Amino acid sequence: MKLLSYLLLMGPAAAPAGEGAPQASMWPTILMFGAIIGVMWLFMIRPQRKQQKEMQEFRNSLKKGDKVVTVGGIYGEIVEVNEKTALIKVDGDVKLRVDKQGLVKDYTESVQK
């Protein structure tokens, strides 16, 4: 907290007008912007990239027999996997071809008791 107070007080202070007035340092402002960007990266961007990477790995590892859930909440079992699509068996003879990007969750382990 002391560091934050110090940096804020060291910012552009009200200097008297006229020649010979000392120039305010830009370093505290630059450090604050750097700290804000660092915090945003740490708490927002990094976790989102990690989640995207995990989802991509999940979609690339799909195989026949996996039980999945689509974005729309449709539960099914994978019958066929292509490069961009997957054919899922929903119920009985009902099969749906969905884009792999629409598959969000694998519930194979939770179904087996």
| C-alpha pair distances (Å), 11 with each of 25, 26, 30, 53, 77 | 7, 7, 10, 40, 61
Tens-place pLDDT, residues 58-107 = 999 999 999 999 999 999 999 999 999 999 999 989 999 999 999 998 88
Domain count, the chain: 2
The verdict on residue 17 lying in a domain is no
Q: Is the pLDDT of residue 14 over 70?
A: no
Q: Is residue 43 within 8 Å of residue 76, measured between CB atoms?
A: no
- Residue 103 is part of a domain; what is its CATH number? 2.30.30.100
**Looking at the domain assignment, is residue 67 inside a domain?**
yes
Domain with 34, as residue range(s), is 1-9+26-61
Helix and strand counts by DSSP (H, E) for the chain:
4, 5
Q: For residue 39, is it within any domain? A: yes
The whole model's pTM is what?
Answer: 0.62
Judge whether 63 and 81 are in contact, CB under 8 Å.
yes
109/24 Cα distance (integer angstroms)? 62
